[in-house]
Amino acid sequence: MSASVYRKIVVKVGSNVIAGENGLPDLSIMSQLIEQIHQAKKQGTEVILVSSGAVASGRSLFQVSAKTDTVARRQLLASIGQVKLINTYTSLLQAYNLLCAQVLVTKEDFRDRIHYLNMKSCLGALLQHNIIPIVNENDVVSVTELMFTDNDELAGLIASMVGAEALIILTNVDGIYDRPPKEPGAQVIPLIDSSKTDFSAFISAEKSNFGRGGMLTKCSIAHKLSLVGIKVHIANGKTPGIVTSILNKETVGTVFSTLANKSKLKRWVANSEGYAKGKVLINEGAREKLFQTKKATSLLPVGVVKIEGEFAKGDIVKIFSEKGELVGLGMAQYSSDLARSAMGEKNKKPLVHYDYLFLYDQAESPVS
């Protein structure tokens, strides 16, 4: 058997892939997925599975009163359904003498470097011992602002965290289309350049029956990961052998091209936009200096024209040009109070050191 094109991947499977319209888990699809993960491991690929389906599984087991609060309903169904979901995966993996581990996370787990590294260490230990981590959002405690956009966002964060070479997002369509899929002549786009940021013209914002996200979210995550060197495949999880086809370099679904790979620390910063505590506005000279290619450049206070919000040392800040364009993200080396006192002055310690600085493509703004 030939080696896989990737050494480490994250596979995200959506609710509409593993659950039918009636909410019952589709065991044939789940069995195919596990068989493909087994094949990937035989080819030398480490696999982390990010699986939706807890709430959908819960729906198949219990009927919640329509009078129940929306948040309480989700918590109840997730509590019941997560047990069924992980038990199903455990049973399917036993046929291949493989073990899995349940990893439930919340957005809070990504908010600081210590929690981030603890989770990364756990996932690394599981992979080292040939155990397949099955990750899902902890819907029991994740509510409102504590929730991920959906498991696509979670999968992107996990892929960045573990240094995966690729994220495979399995959905119930064949990929990204060049126009609304229902229109005559619509075709799947096989390759999307990493500089492409406007997907709204041909992607419906419609969400799935069971999940929270849609294709726009998937494209946004894929674009962000492409900027830090992680290739993203979006493909139909109901297609037999789809993961195996991707690992065998077959042209299926949609692939997002990548820019140069980034350090693991920069990957963490790049995926911390949602946790930024403040804004730093810089002048045009500072912006040009940051994007020079000949040498690494830190963000110095002399180029800062305005500080918005309050932040402490170690917090993530967003960096904007004077025109209001999001330039990048960085970890502040000191507080907002000290930053304001040093603003515009020369010979001061960098506000954001290069090692903790992630810059978006110079010509494009990131997908919001």
Strand order in the sheet with 191-192: 99-105, 131-137, 46-51, 8-13, 166-171, 231-236, 254-256, 191-192
d(CA 170, CA 244): 12
Please tell me whether 12 is known to bind a ligand. Answer: yes
Please tell me whether 151 is known to bind a ligand. Answer: yes
230 contacts 164 by C-beta, under 8 angstroms: yes
The annotated binding site for substrate is made up of 52, 139, 151
The annotated binding site is made up of 12, 52, 139, 151
The annotated binding site for ATP is made up of 12
